[in-house]
Amino acid sequence: MGKLKSAAGVALFMTLLYGSSAYSQKVTTLKECLSYASTNNRNLKISGYELEVSQRKVYEQMGTYLPQVNASGSLDDNLKLSKQLLPAEMFGGTPGTYKAVSFGTKYSMSGGIQVTQSIFDPQFFVALKTVKTNKKLSEQNQKKTQESVTYNISIGYYQSLIIQKQLNVLKATLDASKESLKSAELRFKNGMAKQIDVDKLRVSFNNTKSSLKQTELSYNQSLNNLKNQMGMPLDSVIVLPDAVPEFTFDRMATEAITDSTIERRSDYQILKTNMALTELDKRKSIASYLPTLSSYYNFNYNAMNQEFKFYESSQKWFNSQSIGLKLSIPIFSGFQRYQRLNQAKLNIAKSQENLKLTEQNIRVQISNYEIQYRNALDNIQNEKENLDLAQRVYANTQLECKQGVSKTLDLVQAETSLREAQNNYFNKLLSLYIAKIDYEQSKGNLENFINNQLK
């Protein structure tokens, strides 16, 4: 599945970046943007590596309960042997006196293998549970990163679409303004209009042209932000559809904020997992009071000589073996274990308070985003009516101006009102999309919502 996603992402990138003229005009959908980001977004790659590291830590911890085998070896050159005092009478000397005697050889060599096996270690099982919980935490962080990428790309995509739509409308307005200016200049040449009328229309034309350039700048910046969120090079090409895909905008009844709604939130799930880790830390502190039992087996070879000739076949080697059990019983640690246990209890209490605080904040967020969404629905209706009215007024005033019924000032004012209505409408339209996405994200339902919109 990963290879298929990667291949799809590369294919999309090659199409966007190096495609022929036919392919370069291929419309890029939101689904394709999200698919490309799934294999190219840097944050998603980092979270994937972190998840893999957490899995390796599980294997590492499991390995601590397997037999541990270690080999060792040493070579000693005793530059000066230590001396021991022995009764002199052992060597025929005066009783009551001592003689210094050296023991050992100048050279000694040894090598061996030690095998240890843990039999009972209460902390092992707690540590294993901890690394598995950390792996779960990495999975939740990856999910949260995926949601963040989906959110940013969706916002960037619809923002670019709406600005593109605004560009097209401004271009049409500029063309109409240009025609009005040409008509006024022609009437001025024929003595049917004043220079001030031409100047007023030229100022209005320049204002519309300036708005168009500013909107083009915003559009390019929006596309750059979208590419950045996707992990796509900035010099690649993205062609967006002409129409803005419509969400299902409905005035739904107020939803009750249930426990399951809060449980869907990734940040809430992460906090619960962190609280589980603090509880495991407490269990680890308790386990440190219990004894541990392990077994061992040692096998060693030793050789000693006054000369360095361990490589000769005449060198004698002596082996030794031992097997046994090792029991370790903690008795007193200067109250360190006691203090660690108290710290763990306090951390659990702190985690519980953080969880309650987050739950309260989530309820407030959902409520506020719902209010914001409903307000955006009301605003878009008003702005759409204003835009339609401004377009009709501008069209009628333009016609009347050509017929000599209306004044130039009326046309300038109508055009200014139209630009303002267009700007307000598209700003409110973007606010509506953002409010809907924010609302769905606050309920932990963003992924499902976006996927349903892409069907």
Give strand ranges (E) for 83-153.
Answer: 83-87, 98-102, 107-120
pTM (2 decimals)? 0.82
Percentages helix, strand, coil for the chain (3-state, rounded to 5) are: 65, 15, 20
What CATH code would you report for 2-65+121-290+330-453? 1.20.1600.10
How far is Cα of residue 324 from the mean position of the Cα atoms in its chain? 50
> Taking a C-beta distance cutoff of 8 angstroms, is the pair 106, 77 a contact?
yes
CA–chain centroid gap for 118, Å, is 39
Alpha carbon distances (Å) from 99 to 82, 85, 89, 103, 257: 13, 5, 9, 13, 93
What gap in Å lies between CA 32 and CA 227, rounded to an integer?
Answer: 12
Q: What pLDDT does residue 443 have?
A: 92
| pLDDT for res 15 | 40
Query: What is the residue-wise DSSP string for 274-294?
Result: HHHHHHHHHHHHHHTTS-EEE
Predicted pLDDT at 20: 37
What are the pLDDT tens digits along the chain (455 aa)? Answer: 444 344 344 334 334 433 333 344 678 899 999 999 999 999 999 999 999 999 999 999 999 999 999 999 999 998 888 888 888 888 878 888 888 888 888 899 999 999 999 999 999 999 999 999 999 999 999 999 999 999 999 999 999 999 999 999 999 999 988 988 888 888 888 887 789 988 988 998 999 999 999 999 999 999 999 999 999 999 999 999 888 776 666 666 667 788 899 999 999 999 999 999 999 999 999 999 999 999 999 999 999 888 888 888 888 889 999 999 999 999 998 999 999 999 999 999 999 999 999 999 999 999 999 999 999 988 998 999 999 999 999 899 888 887 777 788 888 898 899 999 999 999 999 999 999 999 999 999 999 988 887 76
User: For position 455, what pLDDT does the model report?
Assistant: 64
Residues 6+ apart with CB under 8 A from 37: 44, 149, 153, 229, 230, 231
Instruction: Give the pLDDT of residue 13.
Output: 37
Q: Token pair for residue 364?
A: 């407030």
* Angle in degrees, 0-180, between the axes of helices 122-189 and 446-453, rounded to the nearest 10: 50
Q: How many residues does the chain have?
A: 455
Q: What is the pLDDT of residue 23?
A: 40
Written as one string, the DSSP assignment of 17-58 is HH--HHHHTPPPPHHHHHHHHHHH-HHHHHHHHHHHHHHHHH
Distance, CA of 147 to chain centre: 8
Tell me whether strands 83-87 and 107-120 are parallel, antiparallel or unpaired.
unpaired
